[in-house]
Amino acid sequence: MNEKHRRVLDALERREPDRVPVMDLMLEYATCNSILGKRPSSLGRWLASQRVSGILDRVFSHIDTGPAVDLELERFLFLGAEAAKRMGYDAAWLTYFPVLRYRDSKTMVDLFGRLSDVVVDGSGNLTNPVYRKGLIEGPEDWKAWDKRPLLRLPEKVNQAFSKVAKKYGGSYFIFGFCTYGLFENTWQPMGFERFAVALRKDRGFLKRMIGFLADLYCLLVEAMADAGLPGLVYTDDLAYRTGPMLNPRHIEELFGDHYRRIVETAHRAGMKVIMHSCGNITSLLPWIADCGFDGVHPLEPTAGVSLSEAKAAVGDRICLVGNLDVTHILTDASREEVFEAVRQAIREAGPGGGFILAPDHSHPRVSVERLRWMMEAAEEYGRYPL
């Protein structure tokens, strides 16, 4: 086991490593291209061009774009992997998300039943699609939905991550990501209003749908484990900035046992699992720890999550991961501000171990220079004993 793997494992198991580990989310073309000195891909520029996008609309209407998208997503997986190596991170969140299809140059549909808007930043980099609406209106739509492509996901995920683990697994600790979590993959294909109605009137349908998604997720966990990944990120946004999106009692009833089964599947396969949930999850932290997750991210400061409060509440049971703000600290802050933010985060969450320093999100405006300042500050302030 190399130094970086040991450092990350020490933090995840709430021991004091030699230094607070640093992790990043390799989820943006803009950031990865900037790190590697690469230009945006041709596809992004074509989609942003009014003339070329019209041609693409006609092409996309006549072909299955899935194979081409899957190849591009694998290319992005390796782009992020190489960028993480170049930066020297201890750990990286790498993504391969082979569920997207182009409906036209402005719209993507995914295998779970979501419509999303294609987004290209001002430099021609593709960025994360933005959810528009769901296509599953009820039990009959779900019953009729073609699930065969979903059942082929584990093989695709295994093949892509096997290649990246072979090439980069010795360079840093890889956390794999391949799909959203059970809550998001349930309500978004329906839309929140229809989901809320089903919660009141047809909970049996919701439980059947969630059961299928949980079974699929466990297969994906096994696929990533067999690929040689030491960890995964389970993402499921459970909260607004004001607090949980659902009554915690409903979250436990619908998802609790499935969360625990996903974590147990990962642990039996020798993997660590970080739970990612945006919003103010302070009140959910004890429940997340009870589910058995090894870490929790992003502990979003702009949503009012306090690292010191999180440390006091669950720091003896779960590793805290985050919480450097990407709206200012890692986009346009001064060097002194970045160093102070890192120092404060380590002071609040670092004592006794159980902390991994990381951005709270990815964002195309994140500054590579400030990411390097983040690492320098971790080296200065994060050596144990603190």
The domains found in the chain, sorted by start residue, are: 3-381 (3.20.20.210)
Is the preceding peptide bond at 158 cis, omega within 30 degrees of 0? no
Residue written as token pair 């609040």: 348
Rounded-to-10 torsion of CA 294, 300, 306, 308: 40
Residue type for position 73: L
- The CA–CA distances, whole Å, from 380 to 131, 263, 374, 376, 377 equal 40, 34, 10, 6, 5
Q: Is 144 helix (H, G, I), strand (E, B) or coil?
A: helix
On the CB side of 80, how many CA atoms lie within 13 Å of its CA?
26
Residue-wise pLDDT tens digits, 279-302: 999 999 999 999 999 999 999 999
Total length of the chain = 386
Strands 23-25 and 91-95: parallel
The answer to whether 315 and 304 are in contact (CB under 8 A) is no
CA 343 to chain centre: 25
Residue-wise pLDDT tens digits, 9-51: 999 999 999 999 999 999 999 999 999 999 998 889 899 998 9
The answer to whether 115 and 99 are in contact (CB under 8 A) is no
CB atoms within 10 A of CB 249: 9
> pLDDT tens track of the chain, all 386 residues?
899 999 999 999 999 999 999 999 999 999 999 999 999 988 898 999 989 999 999 999 999 999 999 999 999 999 999 999 999 999 999 999 999 999 999 999 999 999 999 999 989 999 999 999 999 999 999 999 999 999 999 999 999 999 999 999 999 999 999 999 999 999 999 999 999 999 999 999 999 999 999 999 999 999 999 999 999 999 999 999 999 999 999 999 999 999 999 999 999 999 999 999 999 999 999 999 999 999 999 999 999 999 999 999 999 999 999 999 999 999 999 999 999 999 999 999 999 999 999 999 999 999 999 999 999 999 999 999 99
**Residue 175: beta bridge partners?**
93, 231
